[in-house]
Amino acid sequence: MNGKIKYCPICSILLEKRNMEERLRLVCPKCEWVNYENPIPAVVMFLKNQNNEILLIKRNVEPEKGKWALPSGFIEVDETTEDAAIRELKEETNIKGGIKKLIGVYIEHPAIYKSVLVIGYEVEFISGSLLAGSDCSGAKFFSSDELPPIPFSSHRKIIKDRLK
Ligand SMILES: [Zn+2]
């Protein structure tokens, strides 16, 4: 259970512990708001160039700052998953992409977020020249047999699932 939330965000009164769906959850006794604890939805993008090389970015934010990974990001509240994928790809790499297909859905447990629901898309190149965005300190295409260590198991699975 989340140790930090104590009060209802709507009523500001103390939440109480209740057994719901065989889990102990914090519930507001007044408005019945439930502190559900769910994975945070994120998109991860797989893009290959004409030489069959895979686009990676060097992360400039935690978790795993300084490591290479697939372009990725959290989905904003007013976005579709596809919109988020296209936006994050553009922000991180300056490449305008288009959704090609859904590769799969995965769960990741990074250091600073408890649980992340990873939606992996294959994206195709539309336009733009490669340029690392503000969230990255690098953006580069790598041959699939010369990939640097990628810290996220979900990213490694996306690459494996796409290449098999
Ligand atoms: Zn309440």
Same domain, 30 and 46: no
2 lies in the same domain as 59? no
**Same domain, residue pair 76 and 137:** yes
Ligand 1: centre distance to CA 47 (Å): 44
32 and 49 part of one domain: no
Nearest in space to 42 (alpha carbons), one of 112, 120, 151 = 120
pLDDT grade for 3, boundaries at 50, 70 and 90: low
Q: How far is the CA of 114 from the centre of ligand 1 (A)?
A: 24
Do 142 and 78 reside in the same domain of the chain?
yes
Tens of pLDDT, residue by residue over 84-96, are 999 999 999 999 9
Instruction: Please check whether residues 155 and 114 belong to one and the same domain.
Output: yes
- State the distance from the centre of ligand 1 to the C-alpha of 15, rounded, in angstroms: 8
Query: What does the block give as tokens for 48?
Result: 């290959």
66-110 pLDDT, tens per residue? 999 999 999 999 999 999 999 999 999 999 999 999 999 999 998
CATH code, 109: 3.90.79.10
Residues 80 and 98 grouped into a single domain: yes
The residue-averaged pLDDT of 28-41 equals: 96
Name every residue whose Cβ is closer than 8 Å to that of residue 121 and which is 6 or more positions away in sequence. 43, 44, 45, 46, 81, 82, 85, 99, 100, 101, 102, 103
Q: How far apart are alpha carbons 80 and 148 in whole angstroms?
A: 31
Is the full-model pTM beyond 0.75? yes
Strand 116-127, strand 40-46: pairing = parallel
Query: For tokens 């996306």, what's the residue?
Result: 158
3-state class (DSSP) for residue 14: strand
DSSP string of 92-117, one letter each residue: HH--EEEEEEEEEEEEE--SSSS-EE
- Using the mean position of ligand 1's atoms as its centre, give its distance from the Cα of residue 10 in Å: 5
Residue 31 to residue 116: CA distance in whole angstroms: 28
